[in-house]
Structure 1
């Protein structure tokens, strides 16, 4: 009965928010991002102009964890973060399309690589040549490796992200020529974050896959998509890639609400599925790295343990709220449900591990990125 009541609450909130947003005025335009990038760099004093870049560019694919605004002008989806309170702590409090209170992992990684203060989206901005030379993100919030996942919410597929990369490459050739383009791509850090929406949303929150696949079979389906992506990226010139596993999905606030019972515990079945996927993904990466015909070094980035640490023992890191998002009730609000016109926002974001019911705060992302740089980036021999 508890799960049924949660579902009813979710449906009512989604319908109400969708009706309200249908008549809502347009949100921030993605083309404002260029000015915002400059303001952010100046305000925070972040950047790397005096340090030698560790790579030629940062190239990013995946979902909302790494989407800085590519979904902004997609007319057929609600999977956007270009409205307040997203961007609450960004320069000028601008909601750029980042699913956070401020920066995302690609921004933080670009800084650590001494490339630039922020990594912009491929779409919805007018790029300077310098922007393109040092990389962009092609990610689309709510996509995944299951072909059904982006179809359900009308966002870009992982294959379309690769097609965007092809367009990007042609732009580079027009700017610096073929030889320099090959050098930039060969020396770039490719970063991929995808798969979580497949399990959290498509498998556990819709009837379309769970009836035909048990968890091991669905993991196999995701691995087919992941392998195809890896091989296609390698064929396009990727030589060094960080490929991220899944977090403990059952410990995300929305999944606690839907599947964690009256006490909203971490939901064990979702975490079991994430761990099964992570193990299979590591085996896949190991096989590809051992294949002499596969010309990309892929490093598996394990984020499960660090996010579980923050979601369960975040008090050790100074967080005081581990199970609720900062937006609204913190139980279920994300994307269109997390809207400042209808929902309040917490006063001290840095005390929260999660900003909405699905995405971490910038402070949590900083800890996660630091963990990645300490444990996995050295394996890439940048």
Structure 2
């Protein structure tokens, strides 16, 4: 009897130890990779890769080797990135492409396709083709000498060839069928090409110009679909009139939100949502998702206290009114705490703002990528 009690006690103690160890392992995993368990995919669904096109919101370093003023591979950019490295991301830390891949449990960072240190092992889980300063209007990237959507498409074709060489044709098809493709553009078209430089404003009114942008977006969606993309998320334009630089340039002496810019963004967004709805039935086996970033970011700006932010209309870098890209440099030191600022520089949100936005966006839209 005594022997049986000892066995039972040992068994109970062993079970308890096992439970504690399992809990510790799970807890350690959450601490190491906070994305574990945050985004639940539908049963029997997988996302092997995140593949990104667009502009500076998503760019993870493709502009570094370009002869352009639209670059940021220098301090103080990257001051909150791992190792405090200015990687070419337009912010103080991670950008949405990184956070989305992390939230989905794919990897911590999405490398730039043009990164000289890009490894073949990076290809199966996705890369970034986005280029800061690019847009749907072909003139937008030309003005600032960055990578156009046409060139991003060419790089994507090249990527597919490299991927096939790495994992074979069958696995490549699986990756393209199941990856989430993200397309983010429009703000540079509206803010820079139309309202600031004003070249297009001499040729088009806002309805006509947004039609031109929509044609570029529609053609690009069809192009990447033709190359194998099936799950495609297309982001709306943001409330571009409320970013610090546009307040300075178009918001008057009080630096209010430039409503004319926001109205153009809203018109474009309405047309983009309709275009995506009309395209999906024509592109068989596709899941096209319109991702509204306008309203979530505007809510951050209008109700900063709800998210722990204190500074709304100025970036953290320098004065915060105009500094961006080469104007945000070691001679324009940043604020003490970027996490209190919605914007890192005069154009791009801070990592803290992205972290406030991305998880909620994924929770809202991720199920839309699956049948």
TM-score range normalised by the length of the shorter chain: 0.7 to 0.9
The residue that corresponds to 2:57 in the other structure is 65
Secondary structure in structure 2 of the residue aligned to 1:210: helix
> How far apart are the structure 2 equivalents of 1:81 and 1:181?
33
> How far apart are the structure 1 equivalents of 2:289 and 2:217?
14
> Is the Cα contact below 8 Å between 1:333 and 1:357 reproduced in 2?
yes
Q: CA deviation at 1:210?
A: 0.3
- Structure with larger Rg: 2
More divergent stretch after superposition (226-235 vs 173-182): 173-182
> Is the Cα contact below 8 Å between 2:307 and 2:356 reproduced in 1?
no
> How far apart are the structure 2 equivalents of 1:177 and 1:307?
41
More divergent stretch after superposition (125-134 vs 297-306): 125-134
Paired residue total: 337
The residue that corresponds to 1:28 in the other structure is none
> How far apart are the structure 2 equivalents of 1:212 and 1:130?
46
Give yes or no for the alignment of 1:208 onto 2:195.
no
> How far apart are the structure 2 equivalents of 1:95 and 1:287?
41
Match of 2:47 among 42, 55, 61: 55
> Is the Cα contact below 8 Å between 1:231 and 1:294 reproduced in 2?
no
> How far apart are the structure 2 equivalents of 1:112 and 1:49?
7
> How far apart are the structure 1 equivalents of 2:101 and 2:33?
10
> Is the Cα contact below 8 Å between 1:86 and 1:95 reproduced in 2?
yes
Give yes or no for the alignment of 1:314 onto 2:301.
no
The residue that corresponds to 1:155 in the other structure is 146
Give yes or no for the alignment of 1:378 onto 2:367.
yes
Q: CA deviation at 1:48?
A: 6.8
Secondary structure in structure 1 of the residue aligned to 2:313: strand
Match of 1:345 among 321, 331, 334: 334
The residue that corresponds to 2:356 in the other structure is 367
Q: Quick one: structure 1 residues 47 and 96, their matched pair in 2 at CA, closer, same or farther if it must change by over 3 Å?
A: farther
1:1-382 equivalence runs, <5 A: 45-46=32-33, 54-74=46-66, 76-291=67-282, 293-340=283-330, 342-381=331-370
Secondary structure in structure 1 of the residue aligned to 2:368: helix
Q: CA deviation at 1:371?
A: 2.2
Q: CA deviation at 1:364?
A: 0.4
> How far apart are the structure 2 equivalents of 1:105 and 1:165?
20
Write out per-residue CA displacement over residues 197-224 of structure 1, whole angstroms, 9 at most, x where no aligned residue. Answer: 0001000011311011000000000011
Secondary structure in structure 2 of the residue aligned to 1:243: strand
> Is the Cα contact below 8 Å between 2:287 and 2:370 reproduced in 1?
no
Q: CA deviation at 1:163?
A: 0.7
Kindly report the root-mean-square deviation, in angstroms, between the aligned alpha carbons of the 2 structures.
1.8
The residue that corresponds to 1:31 in the other structure is none
Secondary structure in structure 2 of the residue aligned to 1:79: coil
Q: CA deviation at 1:126?
A: 2.5
Q: CA deviation at 1:130?
A: 2.6
Write out per-residue CA displacement over residues 295-341 of structure 1, whole angstroms, 9 at most, x where no aligned residue. Answer: 4211000011111111222122110100000000000000000002x
Secondary structure in structure 1 of the residue aligned to 2:334: coil
